[in-house]
Amino acid sequence: MSVDPTSGGPLDGLLVVAIEQAVAAPFASRQLADLGARVIKVERRDGGDFARDYDRAADGMSSFFVWLNRGKESITADLKDDEDRALVSELIGRADVFVQNLAPGAAARLGLDATALAAAHPRLIACDLSGYGGGGPYERRKAYDLLIQCEAGLVSITGSEREPAKVGVSIADISGGMYAYSGILTALYERERTGRGAALAVSLFDGLSEWMSQPALYGHYSGADPRRNGAAHASIAPYGPYATGDGEEVNLGVQNGREWRILCDEIAGRPELADDPRFATNSDRVANRAALDAELRPAIARLRAAELIERLEAAGIAFGVMRSAGALLDHPQHRARDRWTTVETPVGPLAALKPPVVVGGREPRLGAVPALGEHDAAIRAWLAGERV
């Protein structure tokens, strides 16, 4: 059966209401919008989602907001105002999905927590996104991405040997948003079979802790936490960046003894290194990483980047070129596969990456990024018409 490329997407006809801000909840609801759901974003009257003001890098708009909010409608409301709260309640009553990531305790005070809403609306899938989850001594703590990275131990294993570093993207927020998104999809599937909605709870700390489970298990049972190695791999060598003669950095990924021998012979021109007892096995190479790099780096530095890449490709050795973040928009792989497109925004068309999941025969629906309160009148008129 072929897929209709003009259809609104697999979630066409579903209504999502989101009282959201920053990254985590907007990331989850944007995935739903990309799949065709109608997403109504409820924002504060005085400035809206504060991610709107994180920067002005995207032709005057926040790069965060452009990334996270395409395909949504924006309505403004004051949740302390009786009329506005009644309007939001009416929207939620019509919704299939509700997502919120208000400050700790705020949703419960307003009666907008997932448990209360799921009880009031049996078919609703309500999702609370929080920093540390319900219960426990951290329940009421404010939680921002860097703080969660620290508490989950991620910062302790990231960075150079001398200095820890946070991950350069909002990885705790993204992990929470992805688990909210997958949880909502699971609940929608279950509702198709049972007719019942669900109350979901996702915390950034739980999401990132799941991703940290392997180093946590390693540290707990070995008695030694994984070491920070910058861009190098903690337990494989050579695996990391090497400078070429023309100033480029190419990351090598040697996975086994056969590849190590090929690297020494065909790439570095140092076949004797393959038989050096200091580098005989991967464990030996990791234990003697400094000596390994002292031998290997000068050999790599004799080659220009293009020559090194040509040799690596011919030999079947894995590698990756160190690129800047801004260069991603012109990456040859994305360009060849037409992965970047544009979305409309209040300041004109801006770049947008198509969703990672490619559905055969269907083009993704990438809606516009809304101005603050852009859909106030239309949504209120729609609700009034529905009441008639």
Catalytic sites, residue numbers: 233
Residue 207: alpha-carbon gap to chain centroid: 12
How many residues belong to the chain?
388
Of 300, 335, 338, 337, the residue nearest 319 (C-alpha):
300
Cα dihedral 181, 184, 190, 193 sign: negative
Q: CA 275, CA 114: separation in Å to the nearest integer?
A: 62
Query: In what order do the strands lie in the sheet containing 125-130?
Result: 72-76, 38-43, 15-19, 97-100, 125-130, 198-203
Q: CA 42, CA 376: separation in Å to the nearest integer?
A: 10
Cα dihedral 286, 287, 289, 291 sign: negative
CA separation, residue 364 to residues 4, 11, 33, 341, 371 (Å)? 12, 12, 10, 11, 22
H-only helix segments in 145-281: 145-151, 171-194, 204-211, 213-222, 257-262
